Structure 1
Amino acid sequence: MASSSSAANIWVLLGLGLAGIFLMTRRLKKTIREDFGAFVQRLQLLPPPQPAPPKAPHPLTSFSFAVSDIFDIDGYVTGFGNPDWATTHEAASWTSSAVSTIVEGGATCIGKTVIDEMAYSINGENKHYGTPTNPAAHARFPGGCSSGSAVAVAAELVDFSLGVDSVGGVRVPGAFCGILGFRPSHGAVSNIGAIPVSPSLDTVGWFAKDPSILRRVGHVLLRLPYADSRLPRHIIIADDCFQLLKIPTSRVAQVVTKSTEKLFGRQVLNHANLGDYLASKVPSLKHFHSKNRNGELKVSSLRSLANAMQFLQRHEFKNCHEEWINTAKPVLDPFISSNMHAMLDRKDANIDHCESARNETRLALSALLKDDGILVIPTLADPPPKLGAKEVLSDDYQTRAFSLLAIASMSGCCQVTIPLGTHDKCPVSVSFIARHGGDRFLLDTVQTVYASLQEQADIAAKSNLSNNIISPEESAEIAKEKGNIAFKEKQWQKAIGFYTEAIKLDGKKATYYSNRAAAYLELGSFLQAEADCTTAINLEKKNVKAYLRRGTAREMLGYYKEAIEDFRYALVLEPTNKTANLAANRLKKLFQ
């Protein structure tokens, strides 16, 4: 009896122990679910009392918000994402201008949120305070530098939040977490009381899930008086930017196209090659062309703009924080540490070219967009990377990201990232850009188009295409776009491979054959180029490029009479084509 009683007691104790562990685990999971690691410090800043009637209540009454730990709040130490910074700085003696404006507008601040270490990354990772969990994709990066603020909104812990965007600090986490993220025009919102990162690029941005809240916060921060809403008269889709996209364009560009046609009519829609436009309007970019490992020049205006932005950011960060880094010798994340020390050792000879590029880019986009234009680009080319993924450290990933982020950062234009549902369980987004100073117009546009964009995105997500049952035609287009990228990188054989794949999937597109012919010409494969051009012309009788390329191939093969005929026919189709005119005249003089 005694032994059976002891055994029973042991089982009771064991059961109680397991129950306790189970309850603690549930509580821990509940805490993680509720907080998502977004906050570094909880606090409360209450708004002033409501004005007496008949005055209107404060515009942000009943809203709660959080702020990135880069904003000063009276009585609290601003941590800047690094414990050594926090221990070497005293508590702030006043509250930053942006935070004060929001509190005076009627909202309640409930805490400070995690940022990337010293706001120096776009990933959202912080080894000191932990990486906030992305509510939209738990196993993936939340994006930075304002990671905690984005997570707090995405998890519905607050109605909106504030962050800082220099090179993507609001736009990236907005895209990764599937919420709205607004970067205002440079200088439109006071950044007094926020730790500087790169003063000529820094902006105070904000996040929200609801476009009406995004707009109301914007009106308070931008101090906008009442005015009637304006609708866009030109919506320009940057085709070359969408070629960088790693998901089908039907999930982004076509969603915008269908929504635009439904709301405003087809006549509002335009297409442009932004890279070519900037190449012609921003001469200072020539100083930032990069080279590949073989020393060959890689000329892309978007890449060059990204190089200029990164150089400018590093130069200004160095000016702001070099003394503290050298004095305090903080413990930094290895990746950030290596970047910072490389940055601190760099010379500043190119800074004048950076400033010229910034000014020229602003003028170029102002001329393109005017007062009523919207530029449409992907927010980012890649979906949120998996936590711990090494791809975020690669030059290719960084180049793709910054080539898109630099457009608004370097021009000072306002930009908003708009969620478009998910693809392969990852958030999808698109970005709208308006000219510098067009913040009200951009906020009004988001309010107008948001519901339609969500409707079209939902249709796309439910289609066979977005359920990974991709049609051969769409797969061919993706292969073609990859071929175009390889061609621009002067990887001719790789480009031929992609174009060949496109032809196998859809052999009725003249463009695929014509593009492959261009790559064959670069390799000196003139017979293959001639054959591809002939096929392209049979499929599309008015394909000017095919005639030009076949004429070039035939000239190199010694078929001069046939080459002249091709160049002349190209002139019939396009009388002002200088290439065809010069070639035809040259051959006529030599061989007739």
Structure 2
Amino acid sequence: MAESGGVPVHVAGGGPAPEGLVEAALGYEAALMADDLDALRDWFEPGDETVRADASGLLVGRDAITRFRGRRGGAASRRVSGLRVLPVAEGVAHVVVENAPAAGGRGVVSQLWRRAEGGWRIAAAHVTAPAPALDRRTWRVVGDPLLPAGGSGALDGRTVAVKDVFAVAGHPIGAGIPGYLAEAPVEARSAAAVEALRAAGASIRGIARTDQFAYSIAGRNPAYGTPPNPAVPGAISGGSTSGPAAAVALGQADLGLGTDTAGSIRVPASYQGLWGIRTTHGAVDREGVLPLAPRFDTVGWLTRDRETLEAAARASLPAASAAATGEPALVIAPALLHGLGPGVREVFEHGAAALRAAGADVRELDAPALASDALDELFAAFRTAQAAEAWRAHGEWITAHPGELADDVAARFAWASEVTPEREAAAIVALAAARTAIDAALGEALLLLPSAASVAPAFDAEGADIEAVRQATLRMTAVAGATGRPALSIPGLELDGAPLGTCVVGPRGGDLDLIARAGGWHEALAQRD
């Protein structure tokens, strides 16, 4: 066994390592520890076929790998403890780098190197780091279980990730903010929505992350990090039910319990290829839930399959209202499709065509209540009323704790602090009129639209780009929020390999009927040409 710079080097077959390869592998490690982004980029082969994988998923293309490095803020300190080289062919070799992280444990990086003009470059890499006891990006606290089931039923054996705005007995509510968590009292009993799931046989796996005060749909949290999106590595998870969504998508829980005020379940469901429902306003007991805007806050769930979603809904909702007679029409309001991200409208329209082909009555609805001007007015009124309630709920704490919030959330609350009672009252009147007009326009029909205005944006997307996506998405999601209707995000569609949810907004009280009908819709949407 040879050494290079004090690092043991083992070459399969006992011969010498290919010229320059060991130096290249150690040069890459040096650039990694220096967080030299330019050098790191150069160590990977150019083009769209280069790959890097870790526990969070696969990154494809040197540009995607470079963006990932730029946003993570450097790798954890580690020492190379050994190199193992397997020559494969002339100018091709497999290298395994053993490392010892400063934080403890052992890590392994497996790399395929190829030599071309300019020297050795990495064509493929797989990183295995020491497994964390707790991924703080996704979870605040976990147990085995944190709370056992309280009964038996349709959710026997299922585990739940609870958004950190619900009371969980024996733990404080953190709301995504360290300072708030530090002052919060320990809850004597769990929220009603938590207990409903436990009574049906589910156990509580843990308390999962949320955006600060749940006032975001991005999923980014500067204090704890952004929960991973296993469906689109390198992209944001969506929020504010970000932690439960990630836990479910990663297979760490069967069910995510969350809230949805303006899309906080539907957006992460769309971004991560999950089922998710915002329930009829007031249908699920919100006792023990930290409010954002009580006029619009609802409880809902995220799952990987329709059956688990239905079981959670039946455990938590009152008896189903009468199902719609016959097969209701699925209607599309063209004005709701304005401002969608590149390719989203085409994919959505392909999904609508698939539903038609499967026998659904899909048609366009040309109604003044869902025209562009009316939707803009509805969104403005929704945003105003929501902001006023959010400031009423949390303004006193925010004022007493300057600097605790991320810039984007702080700006949202600053705007909320300026909403006058007169503006709020006018917004509430406008929302009531919009609700009446939309009810009349829809009748028994179900509203069909994308769950979000884009697929999951890259984590390193500019703040202005994230905000543009947020505004376009909220213009759509606000319809269900303003009217108190249930809205179900159904997985199945994809854009360039990234999930895109299809949302169906139903009549108030029709939650269970909506979920029951969705199995056939999902089969049609999931068909691939």
TM-score range, shorter chain: 0.7 to 0.9
Q: Which runs of 5+ in 1 are unaligned?
A: 51-57, 280-298, 460-592
Change (3 A) 1:220 1:392: farther
Alpha-carbon deviation of 1:394?
Answer: 6.4
Name the SS of the counterpart of 1:350 in structure 2. helix
- For 1:47, the equivalent position in structure 2 comes to 149
Matched, 1:401 2:473: yes
Residue type at the aligned position of 1:156:
G
Change (3 A) 1:104 1:261: same
Alpha-carbon deviation of 1:308?
Answer: 1.2
CA distance in 1, matches of 2:489, 2:457: 18
Residue type at the aligned position of 1:60:
L
Q: Check whether the contact 2:210–2:239 (CA below 8 A) recurs between aligned residues.
A: yes
Q: Check whether the contact 1:238–1:273 (CA below 8 A) recurs between aligned residues.
A: yes
Matched, 1:324 2:397: yes
Alpha-carbon deviation of 1:305?
Answer: 1.5
Superposition pairs of residues 160-199 of structure 1, within 5 angstroms: 160-199=255-294
- For 1:217, the equivalent position in structure 2 comes to 312
**CA offset digits 1:309-354 (Å, max 9, x no partner):** 1111110011111122222435211222232223213323211222
Q: Check whether the contact 1:278–1:361 (CA below 8 A) recurs between aligned residues.
A: no
CA distance in 1, matches of 2:511, 2:2: 76
**Residue of structure 2 aligned with 1:64, choices 154, 159, 165:** 159
Change (3 A) 1:93 1:33: closer
Alpha-carbon deviation of 1:106?
Answer: 0.5
Alpha-carbon deviation of 1:418?
Answer: 1.4
- For 1:260, the equivalent position in structure 2 comes to 356
- For 1:277, the equivalent position in structure 2 comes to 369
**Structure number with higher strand proportion:** 2
Higher mean Cα deviation, 69-78 or 426-435? 426-435
CA distance in 2, matches of 1:234, 1:301: 22
Q: Normalised by the size of structure 2, how large is the TM-score? A: 0.73
Percent identical: 24
Change (3 A) 1:392 1:164: farther
CA RMSD of the aligned region, Å?
Answer: 3.0
Change (3 A) 1:7 1:172: closer
- For 1:19, the equivalent position in structure 2 comes to 98
Change (3 A) 1:183 1:231: farther
CA distance in 2, matches of 1:248, 1:16: 47
CA distance in 1, matches of 2:5, 2:465: 57
Change (3 A) 1:157 1:35: farther
**Residue of structure 1 aligned with 2:184, choices 89, 105, 112:** 89
Change (3 A) 1:349 1:101: same
Larger radius of gyration: 1
CA distance in 2, matches of 1:356, 1:383: 34
CA distance in 2, matches of 1:118, 1:9: 51
Q: Check whether the contact 1:366–1:436 (CA below 8 A) recurs between aligned residues.
A: no
**CA offset digits 1:248-288 (Å, max 9, x no partner):** 53421232233234234xxx3321135x3346xxxxxxxxx
**Residue of structure 1 aligned with 2:497, choices 407, 421, 425:** 425
CA distance in 2, matches of 1:7, 1:169: 52
Residue type at the aligned position of 1:277:
A
Q: Check whether the contact 2:491–2:522 (CA below 8 A) recurs between aligned residues.
A: no
Change (3 A) 1:127 1:277: same
CA distance in 2, matches of 1:7, 1:188: 67
CA distance in 1, matches of 2:4, 2:384: 72
Matched, 1:126 2:221: yes
Change (3 A) 1:234 1:324: same
CA distance in 2, matches of 1:221, 1:232: 25
Q: Normalised by the size of structure 1, how large is the TM-score? A: 0.66
Change (3 A) 1:357 1:440: farther
Residue type at the aligned position of 2:189:
W
Matched, 1:379 2:451: yes
- For 2:437, the equivalent position in structure 1 comes to 364
Higher mean Cα deviation, 150-159 or 77-86? 150-159
Q: Check whether the contact 1:47–1:104 (CA below 8 A) recurs between aligned residues.
A: yes
Alpha-carbon deviation of 1:15?
Answer: 4.7
CA distance in 1, matches of 2:311, 2:7: 62
